[in-house]
Copies of this chain bind each other. A is one copy, B any other.
Amino acid sequence: MLSERRLQVLRAIVQDYVGTEEPVGSKALTERHNLGVSPATVRNDMAALEDEGFIAQPHTSAGRIPTDKGYRLFVDRLAGVKPMTAPERRAIQNFLDGSVDLDDVVARTVRLLAQLTRQVAVVQYPSLTRSTVRHVELLSLAPARLMLVLITDTGRVEQRLVDCPAPFGEQSLADLRARLNSRVAGRRFTDVPSLVEDLPEAFEADDRGTVSMVLSTLLETLVEENEERLMIGGTANLTRFGHDFPLTIRPVLEALEEQVVLLKLLGEAGDSGMTVRIGHENAYEGLNSTSVVSVGYGSGGEAVAKLGVVGPTRMDYPGTMGAVRAVARYVGQILAES
């Protein structure tokens, strides 16, 4: 439906607008990109593109700027993902290699993404859903008070206090610890409930209450902590957004504070491959003037969590997508190693 040249015109408009942040006119286009045609021809093409809704003019007699639909077409058909250069890749790897624990990995990733893309970075902590139990530990803090510690293969540690209905002996504790681990160690979280179901039956009547309590706390942890946490960074980059500040930046900051919103946002993104949500494609209203580029990452082939960046719709899509993809890849490697 759109001729090849018109697509090139659109591509040129997007590129120029992203670079200059100013509406781009027909003359400037022909000068900066040698399209081999005159401004007049480009004008006709632009009129056609505007009819189709890919570009718009802020006011009569100004240049054109891409619409959300225009960016969408650009991302889908006109732009590739710009790969990172070798030095950049080395820098990423070096930076992430210095991490000492999971928190540190996530913190470094956020920093890195924010720096590379000069936008707001969002990194979700590796999910518990897909991961497996490495170890479950039980410690007795007081005669009727236990602490349950859950360690996952992604290096995450969760702990919970358990108030027992009755005192629980050291013997029973060791017994429960051993049985629990032999059943669930190395297993998937989703499999745990059915694996421990009948565990209370193996214990004396006196202890069953406590055992059930421990088990339900464990299951609760698995479920509750699927409400993932996440870390954000690079909010200072929001100041580069535009000149019409307060109106634009405010809802974005609000959205970033609402972790629920962000988690939903990442959750809605496709599970495999990179997802780009442009402007109004974002369900959350406050982010209607931003684009979100996200991708899953994980230690094996499977994604255990997502990361991405939030920036103005007017962003360098190829570069951003390249950075996001590269970072996701290296974080996956780091997680696999540890």
- Are A235 and B250 within 8 A (Cβ)? no
Beyond A137-B137, A236-B253, A239-B250, 7 extra complex contacts between A and B, CB < 8 Å: A135-B139, A135-B141, A135-B147, A157-B157, A235-B253, A236-B250, A245-B246
Specify which of B149, B157, B233, B254 is in contact with A257 (CB 8 Å cutoff): B233
**Which chain B residues lie closer than 8 Å to A311 at the CB level?**
none
Q: In the complex, what residues of B have CB within 8 A of residue A235's CB?
A: 235, 253, 256-257
Could you name 12 residue pairs across A and B whose Cβ atoms are closer than 8 Å? A101-B160, A101-B161, A137-B149, A149-B157, A149-B159, A157-B157, A234-B257, A235-B256, A236-B253, A239-B245, A239-B253, A249-B249
**Those of A230-289 within 8 Å (CB) of chain B:** 233-236, 238-239, 245-246, 249-250, 253-254, 256-257
Q: Which residues on B sit within 8 Å (CB–CB) of A134?
A: 141
Would B157 and A151 count as touching, CB distance under 8 A?
A: no
> What total of chain A residues lie within 8 Å of the partner, measured CB to CB?
27
CA distance A41 to B250 in the complex (A): 43
A256 and B232 alpha carbons, distance in the complex (Å): 12
> In the complex, A135 Cα to B160 Cα: how many Å?
14
Docked pose: A233 CA to B253 CA in angstroms: 10
Per CB-CB distance, the 10 closest pairs between chain A and chain B, nearest first, are: A236-B253, A239-B250, A236-B254, A245-B245, A137-B139, A157-B159, A239-B246, A235-B253, A135-B141, A236-B250
What is the bound-complex CA distance between A254 and B101, given in angstroms?
Answer: 25
Q: Which residue of B lies closest to A103 (CB)?
A: B229
CA–CA, A72 and B323, complex, Å: 47
CB contacts (< 8 Å) of A253 on chain B: these are: 235-236, 238-239
**A235 CB → nearest B CB, Å:** 5
Contacts of A239 in B (CB 8 A): 245-246, 249-250, 253
Q: What string of 1s and 0s marks CB contacts (under 8 Å) between A12-31 and chain B?
A: 00000000000000000000
Chain B, residue nearest A239 (CB)? B250
Max count, chain B CB within 10 A of own CB: residue among A134, A245, A256, A257: A257
A147 to B161 alpha-carbon distance, docked (Å):
19
Q: A235-B235, A245-B246, A246-B245 are in contact. Are A141 and B151 (CB under 8 A)?
A: yes
